[in-house]
Structure 1
Amino acid sequence: MNQSLAADSARLFGSLFAAQASLLVLSPILSEVATDFGVSPATAGQLRAISGVAAALVAIGLVIGRRRWELRRLLELGLGLLSVAVSASVLAPTFAWLAAAQAVLGAGVSLVLAAGLAAAASWAPEGERATLLSWAMVGAPSAWIAGMPVIGLLGAHSWRLAWLVPLVASALTLNAVARRERGTPEPEPAPVRSLLRGRGATRWAVGELLAYGGWSGVLVYVGGLLTDAHRASPAATGLALGGGAIAYVVATFLARRWVDRAARPMVLAAGSAMVAAALILGAVRPSFAFSVLMWAVTAFFAGVRMMAGSTAGLDLAGVGPLQAMSVRAASMQAGYLAGAVLGGVGLALGGWTAVGVALAVPLLLAVVVTATDDRIAARAKVGVR
């Protein structure tokens, strides 16, 4: 790997690490935040919803806007917003202040996700897109592996200290991005009407939303499954979750070998495997070890599927990298909200088995949407001939 590619890989890895770490902080400190500000845990839990809605709105703004952004500048803006939001969270004197900071944080996360993944295509030398994309995409799970233990350690002393992890990550990455040479602005975004008319782009966006709905639901509820169904300790559950994140990282790096040549077949194959894995994870629970294995298997195929799905988006005809990855960011945020709701409904109606079924449904629909799109494309080619 040449020096320039290595430097850009580090910048994009750091960008997505900082974005994910900013979202992770609330998980282990939520009860302390609620107690400190005198609100219920349910009210404190809405902080994640605030950042999610803000992120989705900003991503939609990037999709429908007509401005030509330069990716380095957009990354700087996103990382700057993360730094401001995290700093405000550290100092928050009231719950309303903290809630406002989460809205800013969501905006920063959306900009970083969209610009970071678009840069993997725009900044990559010839033939190195998969390398740069894989380093960008493993930034998020690495925040689970390396960032979460430190967040937990600092949070044990004070929930305000826990925010230092994303603060340091965003500040260091912002400095690294600022030292990169400016590039040319991205192509003018395609009009929304043309995006909606283009069935390929629409079906890809729907497929990504459905896939993230199922996958994010797994992320939300797998910890609860391990602790509730197997009475696992928080320490054992934490180790298991970290193991799944490692499986995701390994899968992402393996997938980059073939993804430029076979992105769509990989979406179908890995997506189908995720359907089966999610069903088994929820319905078959003979032991803690087996559930941990199935969680790792699910995470592995998720790593392949999300890498391939992002590559397919970057290859969409008539859609620039930034606009495509903005669509992906919006789909991801909407998917997180949908997955949390679906899993909750399943848990209330039928326990963990129903959770597995509820989360497998959007994953299956994502496969159907992609397969249908491929058949339409194949028929179109035959018609042209």
Structure 2
Amino acid sequence: MRNVTTIKTQRASGSASATLFGCLFAAQSSLLVLTPILSGVAADLEVSPAAAGQLRAVSGVVAVIVAVGLLIIRRRWELRGLLALGLGLLATAAVASAAAPSFTALAVAQIVLGGGVALVLAGGLAAAASWAPDGQRATLLSWALVGQPSAWIVGMPVIGFVGDHSWRLAWLVPLAACVLTLIRVLRREPGTPEPAPTSVRKLFRRPGATRWATTELMAYAGWAGVLVYCGSLLTEAHGASAAAAGIALGGGASGFVIGTFVARRWVEHAARPMLLITGPGMAAAALILGAVRPSFGFSVTMFAVIAFLAGARMIAGSAVGLDLAGVGALQAMSIRAASMQGGYLGGAVLGGVGLALGGWSVVGAVLALPLLISVAVTAADRGSARRSTENLKVGAR
């Protein structure tokens, strides 16, 4: 009987893991598709490359707004339905983008895409907690999280290859990921709706909620800035071709996958200490990446180191959010989705400012700063929690 139960648990965990991996892969590939095809989009739709570059900002801002909306709307969401809606929006956006007759139409499609990204990111990571069999949360969380870097590793080369023939055909990659994952989601039995959400005012009065949201925003600003500018560093500082930089970054991104799977062994019991270890490591690596550039291989190695630490840091940060007292999984992951997209926008701005002020060395310094702020806030949060525990013990006496 015990063996039968174990097999059923493993099958349920494996099925849910594959579905959540697909959800985050679909969301990330939808965001990535513009990266290698921007020049083609600009030329075909007769806009400047700078204007085409703003399309990513459109989807990012909308994703933040929708994620915040999930916090505000007092509705009990059922996660299967939420994920199906998000994937449906992503598929619709992909079709609309591929068929866009004008730049305005393409920008409107990015609005739809941003909404879908927010729903899938928040719902997918919340499901890692809600769908997990006993003792399997770390497993589901790790598989969900590695869906995003896998889109870099696998999806980006495919998008680049197809995009060389037509930027419109490149949208078939996220479309296929969305449709295949949507089929898996719809095959699941509807679950129990999530608990009634706490009002935003009460939510951020919960112990640690505001500090955790701040740490996630700062950490993603630093990490996203590295993602945004590392490719330019490889091509400009080392003279690498775009193809070589893309392959190198895809290989380096595998460090995120490895870091996530290594960290999941300890995340259930040591999530906060992991934040205090990985944060300074990421900051130091970002400084070195910007300031020390002896060779192309060295810079790629430093990027892989940052990616490894980021993988460990992000699963730990997600676990801390899911464990916040009195905060539902969907609300916590909605905060995380808003922090992630806000961090991408903030990291892009910070890196641009650093590059304008003093080159790559300054870029490394300004991206290390939010990472160190996240560590300082985490340390303060641990101290506050310790003092609260001590006060409770004193009161009990």
Q: Which runs of 4+ in 1 moved over 4 A?
A: none
289, 292, 311: which is aligned to 1:303?
311
Is the CA contact 2:80–2:188 (under 8 Å) kept in the aligned structure 1? yes
Residue identity in the other structure for 2:87: L
Shift, 1:204, TM fit: 0.1
The 1-side partners of 2:158 and 2:295 are apart by 29
Shift, 1:174, TM fit: 0.3
Q: Which runs of 5+ in 2 are unaligned?
A: 1-8
The 2-side partners of 1:145 and 1:6 are apart by 22
Q: Secondary structure at the match of 1:2?
A: helix
- Partner of residue 41, structure 1: 49
The 1-side partners of 2:98 and 2:45 are apart by 13
Residue identity in the other structure for 1:314: L
- Partner of residue 274, structure 2: 266
The 2-side partners of 1:109 and 1:74 are apart by 11
69, 74, 97: which is aligned to 2:82?
74
Shift, 1:73, TM fit: 0.3
- Partner of residue 13, structure 2: 5
Q: Which moved more, 1:233-242 or 1:245-254?
A: 233-242
1:4-44: per-residue Cα shift (whole Å, max 9, x none)?
Answer: 21111111000000000000000000011011111001111
- Partner of residue 336, structure 2: 328
Residue identity in the other structure for 2:374: A
- Partner of residue 190, structure 1: 198
Shift, 1:291, TM fit: 0.9
Is the CA contact 2:278–2:312 (under 8 Å) kept in the aligned structure 1? yes
- Partner of residue 19, structure 1: 27
The 1-side partners of 2:283 and 2:161 are apart by 35
Matched, 1:176 2:184: yes
The 1-side partners of 2:291 and 2:38 are apart by 29
Shift, 1:292, TM fit: 1.1
Residue identity in the other structure for 1:260: E
- Partner of residue 103, structure 1: 111
The 2-side partners of 1:217 and 1:300 are apart by 16
Q: Which runs of 5+ in 1 are unaligned?
A: none
The 2-side partners of 1:211 and 1:52 are apart by 17
- Partner of residue 315, structure 1: 323
The 1-side partners of 2:87 and 2:155 are apart by 17
Within 5 Å, which residues of 2 pair with 1:211-290?
211-290=219-298
The 2-side partners of 1:292 and 1:148 are apart by 17
**What TM-score do the two structures reach when normalised by structure 2?**
0.96
The 2-side partners of 1:358 and 1:205 are apart by 20
The 2-side partners of 1:102 and 1:235 are apart by 26
Within 5 Å, which residues of 2 pair with 1:112-151?
112-151=120-159
Q: Secondary structure at the match of 1:326?
A: helix
The 1-side partners of 2:205 and 2:315 are apart by 25
- Partner of residue 61, structure 1: 69
Shift, 1:199, TM fit: 4.2
Shift, 1:384, TM fit: 1.2
Shift, 1:236, TM fit: 2.0
Residue identity in the other structure for 2:306: T
- Superposed CA RMSD in Å reads 0.8
Shift, 1:287, TM fit: 1.3
341, 349, 356: which is aligned to 2:357?
349
The 1-side partners of 2:127 and 2:362 are apart by 39
The 2-side partners of 1:331 and 1:230 are apart by 32
Q: Secondary structure at the match of 1:197?
A: coil
Within 5 Å, which residues of 2 pair with 1:356-367?
356-367=364-375
Residue identity in the other structure for 2:317: G
Matched, 1:85 2:66: no
Name the % identity: 69
Q: Secondary structure at the match of 2:268?
A: helix
Residue identity in the other structure for 1:67: R
